[in-house]
Amino acid sequence: MIYKTQVAIIGAGPAGLLLSRMLFNAGIESIILENRNEAYLRQRLRAGVQEEGTVAAFVEAGVGDKLIKEGMEHHGIRFHFAGEQHHIDVKGLTGGKVVTVYGQRNITCDMIDWAHKDNIKIIYEAKAQRLEGLTTDAPIVHFSLNGSLHELHCEYVAGCDGYHGISRPSIPKQLRREYVHEFEHSWYGILAEAPPSFEEVVYAHHPNGFALQSMRSPELSRMYIQCPNGTDPEDWEEEALWDELDLRLGFKNNRGKIVDKSVASMRSFVCDNMQHGKLFIAGDAAHIVPPTGAKGMNLAVSDIKVLAKGLINHYTEKDDTVLSAYSKICLSRIWKVERFSWWVTTSFHTLENQSEFDTKMQEATLGYLCSSDIGAASFAENYVGLPIYWDAK
């Protein structure tokens, strides 16, 4: 079967769903191909700290009603290190900017609901197999569905299909370079039916390793501890895990039933070319950050804001200035966000053979942030989200 549309979008995560919504609002047709089924997308747990610009993008796209109603604004962040807790006034240091906690699963469900309401076409369990004609005016996405092969004919392809998708490998090897850093530790994460002990996120540096207290709602806590790569989620007894969280975070956590537990590896990754002909890649297809800085979805949304503007300008004004500069505009922000995420990770996590000097350097770095308005403001500026550098050269 042959399908036709203006923009083919591969992947129905937040990036693909937001792009389809922004294009729909501008009268531009799209079809989303999603490898998973709808139930999987609605149940998949992901991070939930949204930058101010991310919240604004969802609201401006018309899918942010629940986010505004149910999201939890955070005006600051807490650091625990060297046996003491410190508070950084993010809102005060950034002229009133805040972050909002609203789960990625929640915003994904909201956008799927709106897509159904407005008949935006999402083809589930459609596996993209091959991209053809990317340097022509008539690209084709070949995909399988229900055991049969199909074609999606389009004018542009948006690759929002993640690190393991086909979009990035469809950019010829000689036209891209990939940068990777694998961290020697992972995160053991739990979701617990317990009210968060603090209403703001708490980052902890401890000799045993990093720990974090976050939340998904006033009744659900999201907790993490640093663990060795290869850790099995069943390696920890629940009481021992809670005891370790109390130790590393420096306070007694509210405890409750653990409803989800998982281990996530950590890496930094950047592809230095995000476009080839009529193909544009975004989100995890182009870059990955360790979760420490809470930047994964935020960085994807930033890509989509640039890509949507470029496509809308092309169709409504016959102006390809933004599309032509898509990689440069996105990468100028991506590398700064990668730096922030890498820096926060290396400042809070302890290595297996870490020296006492290294530990003192970490404590000194964190101490500077908490005692200097300039240092704290630098952290806060990155935490609430850097701007898009539209004039990137």
The verdict on whether 163 is a catalytic residue reads no
Tell me the CATH number for domain 2-80+95-179+268-348.
3.50.50.60
The pLDDT of residue 390 is 94
Out of 295, 305, 309, 349, which one is annotated catalytic?
A: 295
Inter-residue contact 307 to 320 (CB < 8 Å) = no
Q: Give strand pairing partners of 159.
A: 10, 281
Inter-residue contact 208 to 188 (CB < 8 Å) = no
- Confidence band (pLDDT; 50, 70, 90) for 386? very high
If you average pLDDT over residues 70-98, what whole number do you get? 96
The pLDDT of residue 352 is 87
- Confidence band (pLDDT; 50, 70, 90) for 44? confident
pLDDT averaged over every residue in the chain: 96
Tens digit of pLDDT for each residue in 292-331? 989 999 999 999 999 999 999 999 999 999 999 999 999 9
The verdict on whether 3 is a catalytic residue reads no
Q: What angle do CA 214, 220, 221 make, to 5 degrees?
A: 30
The pLDDT of residue 277 is 98
Out of 188, 287, 291, 314, which one is annotated catalytic?
A: 291
The pLDDT of residue 393 is 62
Domain ranges of the chain: 2-80+95-179+268-348
Out of 156, 224, 315, 383, which one is annotated catalytic?
A: 383
Out of 203, 224, 315, 326, which one is annotated catalytic?
A: 203
Tens digit of pLDDT for each residue in 194-252? 999 999 999 999 999 999 999 988 999 999 999 999 999 998 999 999 999 999 999 99
The pLDDT of residue 385 is 97
Instruction: Please say if the pLDDT value at position 47 is more than 80.
Output: no
φ, ψ of residue 234 in degrees (nearest 5): -85, 0
The verdict on whether 40 is a catalytic residue reads no
Q: What angle do CA 133, 299, 135 make, to 5 degrees?
A: 10
- Confidence band (pLDDT; 50, 70, 90) for 8? very high
Hey, CA dihedral for 106, 100, 67, 268, is it positive or negative? Answer: negative
Report d(CA 28, CA 19) in Å as an integer.
Answer: 10
Instruction: Please say if the pLDDT value at position 41 is more than 70.
Output: yes
